[in-house]
Amino acid sequence: MTTLRCISPIDGSVFATRETLSPETAANAVTRARKAQANWAARPLEDRVRMVMAGVAAVGAMNDEIVPELAHMMGRPVRYGGEFGGFNERASHMASIAEDSLADIMVGEDASFKRYIRRVPHGVVFVVAPWNYPYMTAINTVAPALIAGNAVMLKHATQTLLVGERMARAFHDAGVPEDVFQNVFLDHDTTSDLIADRAFDFVNFTGSVGGGQAMERAAAGTFTPVSTELGGKDPGYVMDDADLDAAVDTLIDGAMFNSGQCCCGIERIYVHESLFESFVEKAVAIVRGYTLGNPLDPETTIGPMAHVRFAQEVRAQIDEALTDGATAHIEKMPADDGAAYLTPQILTNVTHDMRVMRDESFGPVVGIMPVSDDDEAVRLMNDSRFGLTASLWTSDIDRAARLGDRIETGTVFMNRADYLDPGLCWTGCKDTGRGGGLSVIGYHNLTRPKSYHLKKVTS
């Protein structure tokens, strides 16, 4: 067994520890899940929906405890109130569309034949969730997987060690059987061995590119579907006809909120040359108004990064860019300790030769470049190995749609950014991975089609 340690970014102390399951105990947990899944799937859909939504409500009832706990584990300031709004929105939407999404697809019926396609649960779904939005990212899969009739095993990130326990307790209190929804602590080797042994019928992983590759390697040859949402380097493009103030406010918030640790956070911004200087001036003013500090302090507007090593990577990207000629616009803030507390930064005079414009930063830094036209902007937006979202700013919806067709991305935003709409498929391309969560497509991915071709007996 291995001891998992959650190191608080507030002060570097050990906030929580848990022991991983032995391989034998983990295998037994999977066996129990598989045995319980059949009875769970046999329950009426409305019962599964009711219990899942009662579990969601039970998580909401814990929110006063959850908010400071998240600050201790991953550094998000308490002033923002946690994740229950998005957590509830996503689960509620998936509950509301479940009946239609899981309904039989009728192909035809006549005197001789009845033909239809049924959506049936995979069986045991393994969810590996990340630390940056630990409740919202987990519920994206947990809620629809359970509603669709699967058993779920949730493995959460060490940085947010207590989240899975809270979710499991809430759902069990709401009536979901303990073996149907299990929170598990696993080391990497046991995780890989379980996947390779076909313990799971579907794997959903949100995290790093390296982590996603490890999942796919473990599943190689098993034919177990692996859904991934991995790295990002999401661009924003401000066109010449954009609402400048709205663009600055939204894009900078998208770059800096949660200390830049957002799956679809804005990591690079391209601004039409006619608006470039004004955009940068307004952006710098916003960031200079932030208060970097202890996330338990209600006056803090930007907290530490979740771990010192994450902050070190961002500092390295910034330092390399400055060495290569970039300009930094934000002076070092008093709380910047050279460790997890990192001054948010805006860079100009950047190029795509710099890692800060090429590699995932996942921190509070954004590079801003001027562009002369749409073609240059599209070329730069596509000059990335990632493709999760792109944010376009214009008053012309047709122009945005035309450009969106040319951008290699999973989601195209117009005049907004950094938002997950549960009615739309959450997906990506290139090194962002191949997944499809939420929406009706989320249900289709969490089930498999089963065709029925029934010949009637006629006298």
* CA nearest to 261, candidates 362, 389, 162: 362
* CA nearest to 238, candidates 58, 85, 400, 359: 400
DSSP state of 267: E
Q: Cα–Cα distance between 188 and 203 in angstroms, integer?
A: 14
Is there a contact between 333 and 314 (Cβ–Cβ < 8 Å)? no
* Catalytic annotation, pick one of 6, 262, 263, 425: 263
Give the burial string for 23-37 (b: 16+ CB within 10 Å, else e).
Answer: beebbebbebbbebb
* Catalytic annotation, pick one of 6, 69, 83, 229: 229
- Single-letter code of the amino acid located at 318: I
* CA nearest to 141, candidates 74, 211, 225: 225
Q: Cα–Cα distance between 337 and 428 in angstroms, integer?
A: 35
Q: Cα–Cα distance between 335 and 136 in angstroms, integer?
A: 29
- Single-letter code of the amino acid located at 44: P
Q: Cα–Cα distance between 446 and 98 in angstroms, integer?
A: 12
DSSP state of 227: E
Say how many C-beta atoms besides its own lie within 10 A of residue 183's C-beta: 24
Say how many C-beta atoms besides its own lie within 10 A of residue 320's C-beta: 13
Tokens for 434? 């191949």
* CA nearest to 231, candidates 339, 367, 132, 319: 132
φ, ψ for residue 229, nearest 5 deg: -130, 110
Q: Cα–Cα distance between 122 and 166 in angstroms, integer?
A: 25
Is 165 in the active site? Answer: no
φ, ψ for residue 206, nearest 5 deg: -120, 125
Is there a contact between 102 and 447 (Cβ–Cβ < 8 Å)? yes
Laid out side by side, the sheet with 327-328 consists of 327-328, 345-348, 365-371, 266-272, 234-238, 389-393, 411-414
Q: Cα–Cα distance between 223 and 254 in angstroms, integer?
A: 37
Is 262 in the active site? Answer: no
- Positions annotated as catalytic residues are 229, 263
